[in-house]
Structure 1
Amino acid sequence: MDVLTYYMTIDRTKYKHLKPSNDKFIRDAILGILIAAKDTTSSALTCFFWLLSKNPEAITKIRQEINKEMMPKFDPADLNKLVYLEAAVYETLRLYPSVPFNHKSPAKPDVLLTGHRVDKNWKIVIPIYALGRMKSVWGDDAGDFRPERWISDSGMLRTFA
């Protein structure tokens, strides 16, 4: 389901102040999503192509993968077969996240998984840029562009959770 359809078919009884049938609401919601996604997407793609320009072996692997999986006829259903391409995008976002830091505030006092106590309305800053370069997490080559780190021995995408 796309975003427009979601807002047009939302259960209005759950949200008193949400007026999805109102054209202004829908316009503003879609515009907000487009504006928010525009900068992060352009930033990610800029970094992706810059990293590829510095890593010709990655370009070769992506071309080989496309030629193997998408030729002779392009079928969008086959995009999930482009494992190396997706790994290269993940690696780009690890090194150059579109949002380099984020912050959260708990609504009530809580205890983090680390055992640290946080009070209501504290700001917890998450340095995503720094996390993507931590040698303790990613190894001694944490600063290197290496899409292979996202691919398992079986050739599938690896998730780090």
Structure 2
Amino acid sequence: DNQEPGMAEGGVGIVCSAGRGNRTVTVKALVEGGAAEQSCTVQVGHQIIAIDNKDVTAFTLDEVAGLLRGPVHSSVSLRLLETREIHMEMERSEELDDYGRATIGVEWKQGSSEHVVDRAAAAGSGPAAPRRGDRLIKIDNLSTVELNDDDVRRLLEGSVGSTVRLT
């Protein structure tokens, strides 16, 4: 602890929760009147990825909470990853995968249990389009939690003009 004895300690008004394996710390709630709420930038669902330019993506909830606390009136810098839930229906395009099958142009980080979008070139643009870092939660209303990469690929494939619903 690098705090002087007798100095008051405070936080920024963020209530956090931990994801898989007590890693991936996200904003669960904002304390009313706290610095985070007053910033109008921090939102529930944001993932905390760095504190004072220190990567905290592999830190536990307790480690992140410890870095958020410090002497009252001191400043702390946060880097957040926006996580969002989108619902969209897309038509499969002429873009074909390596096997000649129609695709919606979404690729994900394979070998991950979270199916995070890595590329979405042909998937369109705008606020509802998938972006790099988005998690595929459901495909055609089926949860991806128990799916492997081959299952996800099969759900995203189809004939040109058919549709797929992503969440």
TM-score, normalisation: structure 1: 0.22
TM-score, normalisation: structure 2: 0.21
Q: Which has the higher helix share?
A: 1
Q: Which has the higher strand share?
A: 2
